[in-house]
């Protein structure tokens, strides 16, 4: 790889690591001020519309708010392993460690956490309809990361076989 492409890759890796740091700060602030933020947006908004209220389940707005708040905090708790795995993966890429099984483990953590967030949001859909969108988004991101992980895992296997052949 020539020098300009390597410096571009390093620049983008550094920017991505910086963005992960900013996102960590935002999630941390969201955890600290989460109750106030959720309570502010819950009052007379689209968030407060439950999907199971017509069935007579979770008709009380306060109970739906507590379900929504629980989903919120469980989801933000799962973003910390995602961010740790992403930063570790990016640092490995910055060191030039690309085809390594450790990277596939980091990607496994990311996809599992995305699927767990999707499941939690699917359960929370009874409290707020908008969680359905987050559920679908979590499943989509989890599938993409899992597909990339499987491709990387196969590439590692092929590289190992090639190294043994040569």
Tokens 């900013």 found at:
22
92-118: pLDDT as tens digits: 999 988 888 999 999 999 999 999 999
**pTM of the predicted structure, to 2 decimals:** 0.85
**Closest-CA residue to 93 (of 84, 103, 80, 106):** 103
By three-state DSSP, how is residue 129 classified?
Answer: coil
> How far apart, in whole angstroms, are the C-alpha atoms of residue 47 and residue 31?
18
Helix axes 101-124, 131-165, angle to 10 degrees: 160
For residue 1, pLDDT over 70 is answered with no
> How far apart, in whole angstroms, are the C-alpha atoms of residue 159 and residue 166?
11
29-76: pLDDT as tens digits: 999 998 988 888 777 666 666 655 555 566 777 888 888 899 999 999
How does residue 144 score in pLDDT terms, banded at 50, 70 and 90?
A: very high
With vertex at residue 33, the alpha carbon angle to CA 69 and CA 116, rounded to the nearest 5 degrees, is 40
2-12: pLDDT as tens digits: 667 777 888 99
**19 CA to centre of own chain:** 14
Q: What is the DSSP letter of 45?
A: S
How does residue 13 score in pLDDT terms, banded at 50, 70 and 90?
A: very high
pLDDT value at residue 10: 87
Would you say 121 and 134 are in contact if contact means Cβ atoms under 8 Å apart? Answer: yes
For residue 142, pLDDT over 60 is answered with yes
Higher pLDDT, residue 165 or 105: 105
Query: In whole numbers, what is the pLDDT of the chain averaged over residues?
Result: 87
Give buried/exposed letters for 128-157 (b at 16+ CB in 10 A, else e).
bebbeebbeebbebbeebbeebeebbeebe
Would you say 17 and 90 are in contact if contact means Cβ atoms under 8 Å apart? Answer: yes
Domain boundaries, the chain: 3-165
């Amino acid at each position: 790889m020539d020098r300009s492409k390597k410096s571009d890759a390093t620049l983008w890796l550094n920017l991505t690591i910086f963005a992960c740091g900013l996102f960590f700060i935002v999630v941390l602030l969201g955890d600290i001020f989460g109750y106030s933020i959720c309570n502010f947006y819950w009052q007379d908004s689209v968030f407060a519309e439950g999907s199971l209220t017509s069935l007579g389940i979770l008709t009380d707005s306060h109970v739906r708010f507590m379900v929504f708040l629980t989903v919120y905090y469980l989801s933000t708790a799962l973003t910390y392993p995602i961010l740790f795995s992403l930063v570790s993966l990016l640092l490995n890429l910055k060191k030039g460690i690309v085809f390594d099984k450790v990277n596939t483990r980091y990607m496994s953590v990311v996809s599992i956490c995305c699927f767990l967030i999707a499941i939690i949001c699917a359960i929370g859909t009874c409290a707020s309809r908008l969680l359905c969108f987050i559920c679908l988004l979590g499943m989509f991101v989890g599938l993409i990361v899992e597909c990339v992980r499987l491709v990387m895992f196969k590439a590692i296997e092929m590289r190992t076989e090639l190294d043994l052949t040569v």
